[in-house]
Structure 1
Amino acid sequence: MAQNIAFQGELGAYGHEACVTARPAFTPLPCSTFDAAIEAVRDGQADLGMIAVENSTYGRVADVHSLLPGSGLHIVDETFVRVHVNLLGTQDATLEDVKEAHGHPVILPQCSQFLRDHGIRGRTSSDNARAAREVASGGDVTVAALASELAAEIYGLQVLARNIEDSARNTTRFLIMAREPDYTRRGDAGMMTSFVFRVRNIPAALYKAMGGFATNGVNMTKLESYMLHGDFRATQFYAEIEGHPDDANVKLALEELDYFTDMLHVMGVYPAAARRHENGA
């Protein structure tokens, strides 16, 4: 039976590209928002969700970390997609014709130098693939889209300029979400554990909670905080560590963390992507 993987955006979006790369046997299911992609997995429309969480140039994808803990889903994999930004125009357009380039607010700053050098004005769109679709239907040689080559193929556009991103290492990280966790696997490049927690209201609670990872030799690769429900007094932390909860040192570190927290929830245990350990990933 065919399996679906949900992503945020239209066909041709970078989330679509991530689905094709990481889960080529799955049928991509476009969703208008991250909420909709998560809901598609929850209600069974999709078997997996491909959720963008951070970009090496832009940083954290807004609101995603606050969505994941309440999603009821589990992280089962990660994948890194090298984001190549391309200027896509109509079939009869030339680079010199283009006066405006439409793209998502996240992608516009990623190729700002190219746009300045060519006197092209950036215009915001809700989705890069949507921008490509609208350029194709509009037929205006002065308007182009900032999107993937996959979008050019889908919407019949030509690539006027390839790989125009400012950073040679421009990469987006995606988490693959499922309804059920899978703690049985072991990855060739190691394991990752993601979790959220809130510290107890005692002096130096965060400092003490983090101490267990240092004393047990567990590498913490990410620690981010965000407010809950707009309340400055309610802070939740999202963390990622190298290792599996069954590893002796990880087990001890999590037990110590649990002592200093009033909420600890493991979001997922999954193989580390090989690209995580590559220079320029």
Structure 2
Amino acid sequence: MTQPNASSGTSPDRTIAFQGRPGAYSHLACREAFPDLVALPCHSFEDAFAAVHEGAARLAMIPVDNTVAGRVADVHHLLPRGGLHIVAEHFVRVNHHLLGLPGASIEGLRSVESHVHAVGQCRQFLRRHGLQAVVVADTAGAAQDVASAADPSRAAIASRLAGELYGLVSLASNIEDAEHNTTRFLVLAREPVDPGPACDPVMTTFTFTVRNRPAALYKALGGFATCGVNMVKLESYIDGAFTQAQFYADIMGHPTHDSVRLAMEELRFFSHSVEILGIYPAHPFRAQIG
């Protein structure tokens, strides 16, 4: 069995943290986006944030959205108060593999283990083959458990990388139901890295809290429409008293661009607070789906 890379003795400047066990899709994102950095597995998203805060890692790779499962709720609540800055984004096409022991076959399987989202994303395949799904904490953990059990009747749904790390073979590839299954990741750092207004295309991510007045949100966002600024994402958070909402937004453009500057001025007029979480280059994947 190939052992996952360890980060012991590696300089924090050459380390990127992620949530999950080695072989998770977040680990795969780290390898794709930063092949020269050593990936540091963390138990929770909070631990991955802390690794950057405390200097154990230079960056963190954090999932925020999936085209099938939707937003990663825990992360959306961590981002506004996490104290880190978004410096890049990365998209990973989720290709689920049915992983088993060498010599195992689909016909000989009794159970298939994986995270609840991975199981849900492969329902048609599981039903077609009459396979019983067992929900576990994460995809890479499922692969590790199957490898440790050495039972050819057990399999896992996980990434190709997980199979490589834990000595499993792919009994079937690309078993996800939706061809568009893609996860968006944000790369976080302690300090902001502004690519400058000449960067094209560029993303700006921010949070804002509107005043508790009728049509406040409509008025706050009006400037983006009149100035022709493309808002590609808008999420809401409710405060503890249910009296006003905080919002998270992604827009195309740099804050110093005239159109964005004017739109942000109008936003601030109708908001209690506006906080920029990051200005970073748009990933080339956006051009493919635009």
Q: TM-score range by the shorter chain?
A: over 0.9
Does the residue aligned with 1:258 lie in a helix, a strand or coil? helix
Code of the aligned partner of 1:247: H
State the match for 2:156 in structure 1: 145
Map residues 146-165 of structure 1 onto 2, 5 A cutoff: 146-165=157-176
1:71 match: 82
Please give the alpha-carbon distance, in whole angstroms, between the structure 2 residues aligned to 1:180 and 1:85.
Answer: 34
CA distance in 2 between partners of 1:46 and 1:179 (Å)? 10
Which SS does the other structure have where 1:278 is aligned? helix
Does the CA-based 8 Å contact 1:102-1:123 persist in structure 2? Answer: yes
1:107 to 118, 124, 135: 118
Q: Which residue of 2 aligns with 1:259?
A: 269
Amino acid at match of 1:214: A
**TM-score, normalization by structure 1:** 0.96
Say if 2:163 is the partner of 1:169.
no
| Structure 1 residue 92 displacement after superposition | 2.6
- Is 1:276 paired with 2:286? yes
Query: Which residue pairs with 2:6 in the alignment?
Result: none
Deviations 1:115-144 (A, max 9, x none): 010111111111111110000000111111
Residue 185 of structure 1: how far off its partner (Å): 4.1
Q: 1:94 aligns with which of 98, 102, 105?
A: 105
Task: Give the residue type in structure 2 aligned to 1:202.
Answer: R
Residues 1-281 of structure 1 aligned to structure 2 (within 5 Å): 1=11, 3-185=14-196, 189-229=200-240, 231-279=241-289
Structure 1: tracts of 5 or more residues without a match: none
Q: CA deviation at 1:188?
A: 6.1
Measured after TM superposition, the shift of residue 234 of structure 1 is 4.0
Secondary structure, aligned partner of 1:232: coil
C-alpha separation in 2, matches of 1:61 and 1:117: 29
Partners of 1:12 and 1:204 in 2: how far apart?
47
What is the CA deviation profile of residues 10-55 of structure 1, one whole-angstrom value per residue up to 9, with x for unaligned ones?
1000000000000111100001111111111111111000000011
Cα distance per residue 1:225-249 (max 9 Å; x no partner): 12235x4334211111000001111
Question: In 2 relative to 1, CA 123–228 (structure 1 residues): closer, same or farther, beyond 3 Å?
Answer: farther
**Tell me, what secondary structure is at the counterpart of 1:182?**
coil
> 1:90: how far off?
1.1
Q: Which amino acid aligns with 1:180?
A: E
Letter in 2 for 1:267: L
> TM-score, normalising length from structure 2?
0.93
Query: 1:187 Cα shift?
Result: 7.6
Matched residue of 1:25: which SS?
A: coil
3-state SS, counterpart of residue 54 of structure 1? strand
The alpha carbon displacement at 1:97 in A equals 1.2
Secondary structure class of the residue paired with 1:102: strand
Could you tell me whether the CA contact under 8 Å between 2:111 and 2:132 is conserved in 1? Answer: yes
1:196-228 per-residue CA deviation (whole Å, 9 max, x = no partner) reads 111011221000001010111101001111223
2:277 counterpart letter in structure 1: M
**Percent of aligned pairs with the same amino acid:** 52
Displacement, 1:154? 0.4
Q: Secondary structure, in 3 states, of the residue corresponding to 1:135?
A: helix
